[in-house]
Amino acid sequence: MGAVSVCGNSLGIAAGEFNLSGSGRFHVCYHADVRRAEALWLKIIGVLLILLGLTLFASPRITYRTREKVIHSDAIDITTKGQKTIVIPRAVALLTIAAGIGALILASRKPQ
């Protein structure tokens, strides 16, 4: 099997070299438009992660309301209303911020 090379195709889905049963190579190149789109999405995800981390750092408690049926019969339904709180550790907020910064750094790097 010979080497198969597909560069500049309209799909631009995969990149790198793959061995096909050890005897040949398959090479696919990225389009510049795909790289720019990936960088844009990575920047958006990075900014959203940073905003989520800052929100969790400023307000680490998430409170929500619950309803539970205590008694359920044909004649009567009794429900209780409750409130539950989830506490997010500050370390998780800091890791979320760090992941967002890492995503922004990866998005700003030039492809090699």
**pLDDT digit string (tens) for 28-81?**
566 777 788 888 999 999 999 999 999 999 999 999 999 888 877 777 888 889
- Is residue 17 domain-shared with residue 71, that is, in the same domain? no
Q: Are 87 and 66 found together in one domain?
A: yes
Claim to verify: residue 13 and residue 62 sit in the same structural domain: no
Which residue's entry shows tokens 């999405």? 41
Query: Phi and psi for 3 in degrees, rounded to 5?
Result: -80, 135
64: tokens are 């929500």
Domain ranges, residue 37: 32-108
pLDDT over 90 at 109, yes or no: no
Q: What is the pLDDT confidence band of residue 106, given thresholds at 50, 70 and 90?
A: very high
**Do residues 22 and 66 share a domain?**
no
Higher pLDDT, 112 or 48: 48
Domains held by the chain: number: 2
Confidence grade of residue 112 (pLDDT, cut at 50, 70, 90): low
What residues contact 105, with CB distance under 8 A and at least 6 apart? none
- Burial grade of 112 (CB within 10 A; 0-12, 13-18, 19 or more): exposed
85: its two tokens:
């709180």
E-strand ranges in 24-97 read: 24-28, 61-72, 77-87
Q: Would the pLDDT of 21 be above 80?
A: no
Q: Are residues 68 and 94 in the same domain?
A: yes
How many residues are given for the chain?
A: 112
